[in-house]
Structure 1
Amino acid sequence: GSEKLSVKMPKENGMQDGVNPITGEAFSGDYRPTLITVDSHPAALPNWGVGSADLIYEMPIQADGSTRQLALFMGEYPAEGAGPVRSARVPMCSLREMWGGVFCFYGYQGGRDKNNMKDWIEANSSVKKLKYPYLNGISKNTGWFQRTSDGGHVGPHNVRLNMSEVEADYRESPTPQPFVFSETGLERGEDVNGIVINYKVTNDAYRTAYEYNASTGLFERYRNGAPYIDGNNGEVCAYANVIVIRTDVSWSSGNPSRPVIRLNGQGVAEIFQNGKYIRGTWARDCSATKKLNNRMVFFDENGEELPMKVGKTFIQIVDNEQPVVVVADEAIDGAVEPQAQRDRVGTGSKK
């Protein structure tokens, strides 16, 4: 991966009437994307409202392997709310600029060096100030962010956002940047039954896994060996597309809790649809600070824009060297136990 592009970026995909530009599913209404920083600490499980999100990112936020999620809601705003909401990090701001819309979080990355959210937004954001649509629940609209013990949650893993208030107050009009869609998804590639990503190799606190369900055509998500459920309804979250994007991850001023994640240029994308795996490329034609509204494009192994399978997407952002384990054949017993590991998806040449 590098900041320079070697792929040819395609034109924008036009909006189709009645189609959600993020999922390809039927949709009517205004395009109103909202991003929320969702806590992925084990004590924050189950997360609320995540089954309603059209697309979710998970990314490293500490050098010890701790992660945080950024959930994108557009087609459905869960009436019961979403969360637990936690503090935001600078790389999330780049994704806010890309999608447009409102970004809700509870606290944010400060600090004396320039790699803090306030300075970053003032220098690079279309908004130019840490204010709406950057919505910090600690200081603004505090009534929308309620602490709750629902599901046994305790602080700081217990802030739930009232999505109905966000929707009623929506004042942004971002431009949609639709994916290309396919009803069927990939019909080529290697067979995959499971995927395992252990961000924190010293223990299983941040182990994400997916198991393919052939009857639904979706990858069911697991966290730390247990189904990843939406605490609002108890349903397992499942995804039509799982994409692992490899990029450069470092730590600002050597501080292990201040991530610097390259979300411009290009890198390897491990693409999973329909129980199939191909190795492609992600690319975004921007610098770290300019043209940030340009979309991230996924390319297949032939350099063509990847059609997303209609449905929800999960994007795992990992360091270039992060091991990703692909289980090809046998049932993986939900948790994807380490002894079931078959093939390592490498970081250089394909496996």
Structure 2
Amino acid sequence: MKKYALIGCSLCFLLGSACSPEENTEAPAEEDSADHEPVQAEPEEPEEKTVENSSADREEPEEKEYDETEPLTGEGTDEVSLYRPVAVMINNHPKARPQTGINKADIVYEVLTEGDMTRFLAVYQSEQPEELGPVRSARDYFIDLAAGYDSLFVAHGWSPEAKQMLQSGAAPYLNGLFHDGTLFQRSSERQAPHNSYITFEDALQGLSSKGYEMEQDVSPNHFKEEGYSDSTASEAEDVSIWYRDKYVVQFSYDEEEEQYERSSDNTAAIDTATDEQTAVKNIFIVEAPHRVIDDKGRREIDLSSGGEGLLLQNGKALTVQWKNEEGRILPVKDGQDIPFAPGKTWINVIPSSSGIEGSVQGVE
């Protein structure tokens, strides 16, 4: 695990030295400018069981106390990073799996792009991986979501709408279109456009070289140690989220670890860098209106009006609503903010045309 402070030191050294209903079901082959691109002996009986060996006298290890709290995970830490969040567009095409570095993100938004495939916006602040990818192209609504955390934004390519937004100053950004083969590297093990990778160090270097402000305070989300407490919550240990009946995301609750493990299309989401399955504490499923707006199948998604939601924590699901608060998608119920449990959060945005009732299975 690398903290931002370590990258900060490395960076300083480097710089010092140097629009129709949901009817489209097929994604286009080329969607934007980024596409050009053993037996044991029985133990001897003890002679005498002494009081000292009694389990009643064993002391439980003390839980470590921390001085600070991570703003985007609510977890304890000795020192909060001074750096602002970094939001990275991560490819989720089958040819882009498994991904690298996504399990280190504090928050991941999973949202449809063209056809029936989703893409990820991974927001990093408390942790950072050594490498990220495959990096993919931007859409306008991902830029809005990144702006909710005042994030630095990293992508490889853009749609026309995203291009206009970024060039107009909607977010400080780094685009692989202009740094392909330098800051961004192509993997020989995959084919373009599913093979663009960048190290976190290079991302920070590239962003800093453009003169962007790299340090700032981060406003925290709302957390509670045990998450929400509500008698109306339902059992939710193995939950599936379907996107237009074509692609499915699964979350299975690990009671011992008290977290949900993620799979895509019935295959465990294993991070290539750590060989670990992606796991999170919170899953927030939200309905939003989707509308196809061009012949490429690009979408307009309403992420500002709020709507119905489902919040999964600790093997249970709570029916809630969602709101957009200064760009952040957050849970509310009866007008009251609902806390996240300390840990990482995965937010799945689904079309309201099918909604939670038609898209989510496994909630009893």
Query: Shorter-chain TM-score: what band?
Result: 0.7 to 0.9
| Shift in CA distance, 126/226, structure 1 to aligned 2, threshold 3 Å | closer
SS across alignment from 1:167: helix
For this pair of structures, how many residues does the alignment match?
Answer: 287
- Asked whether the 8 Å contact 1:186–1:276 carries over to 2, the reply is no
Q: 1:294 deviation in Å?
A: 4.6
- Asked whether the 8 Å contact 2:263–2:269 carries over to 1, the reply is yes
How much identity, in percent, do the aligned residues show? 28
Kindly provide the amino acid, as one letter, of the partner of residue 19 in structure 1.
T
Q: Which runs of 5+ in 2 are unaligned?
A: 1-65
In structure 1, C-alpha distance between the alignment counterparts of 2:255 and 2:86, rounded to whole Å: 31
Partner of residue 307, structure 2: 267
- Asked whether the 8 Å contact 1:186–1:274 carries over to 2, the reply is no
SS across alignment from 1:93: helix
Partner of residue 191, structure 1: 235
- Asked whether the 8 Å contact 1:101–1:174 carries over to 2, the reply is no
Q: 1:140 deviation in Å?
A: 3.9
Kindly provide the amino acid, as one letter, of the partner of residue 313 in structure 1.
T
| Shift in CA distance, 167/76, structure 1 to aligned 2, threshold 3 Å | farther
In structure 2, C-alpha distance between the alignment counterparts of 1:303 and 1:296, rounded to whole Å: 15
In structure 2, C-alpha distance between the alignment counterparts of 1:312 and 1:246, rounded to whole Å: 21
Is 1:317 matched with 2:359?
A: no
Partner of residue 291, structure 2: 250
Partner of residue 58, structure 1: 110
In structure 2, C-alpha distance between the alignment counterparts of 1:126 and 1:93, rounded to whole Å: 7
Partner of residue 197, structure 2: 160
Partner of residue 331, structure 1: none
Partner of residue 20, structure 2: none
Is 1:100 matched with 2:155?
A: no
Q: 1:325 deviation in Å?
A: 2.7
In structure 2, C-alpha distance between the alignment counterparts of 1:221 and 1:295, rounded to whole Å: 22
- Asked whether the 8 Å contact 2:311–2:318 carries over to 1, the reply is yes
In structure 2, C-alpha distance between the alignment counterparts of 1:60 and 1:222, rounded to whole Å: 17
Q: Which digits, 9 at most, give the CA deviation of each residue in 1:135-167, with x for residues without a partner?
A: 111114752211114xx4332211111111223
In structure 2, C-alpha distance between the alignment counterparts of 1:167 and 1:245, rounded to whole Å: 31
Which structure's CA Rg is the greater one? 2
Kindly provide the amino acid, as one letter, of the partner of residue 352 in structure 2.
N
Normalized against structure 2, the TM-score is what? 0.74
- Residues 1-351 of structure 1 aligned to structure 2 (within 5 Å): 18-27=68-77, 28=79, 29-62=81-114, 64-79=115-130, 81-110=131-160, 116-121=161-166, 125-126=169-170, 133-140=172-179, 143-149=182-188, 152-168=189-205, 170=208, 171-172=212-213, 173-188=215-230, 189-201=233-245, 203=246, 206-252=247-293, 254-285=294-325, 293-299=326-332, 301-322=333-354, 323-328=358-363
- Asked whether the 8 Å contact 2:145–2:327 carries over to 1, the reply is no
In structure 1, C-alpha distance between the alignment counterparts of 2:152 and 2:166, rounded to whole Å: 14
CA RMSD of aligned residues (A): 2.1
Q: 1:45 deviation in Å?
A: 0.7
- Asked whether the 8 Å contact 1:100–1:175 carries over to 2, the reply is no
- More helix per residue: 1 or 2? 2
In structure 2, C-alpha distance between the alignment counterparts of 1:35 and 1:294, rounded to whole Å: 13
Normalized against structure 1, the TM-score is what? 0.76
- Asked whether the 8 Å contact 1:208–1:221 carries over to 2, the reply is yes
Kindly provide the amino acid, as one letter, of the partner of residue 185 in structure 1.
G
| Shift in CA distance, 71/294, structure 1 to aligned 2, threshold 3 Å | closer
In structure 2, C-alpha distance between the alignment counterparts of 1:312 and 1:44, rounded to whole Å: 22
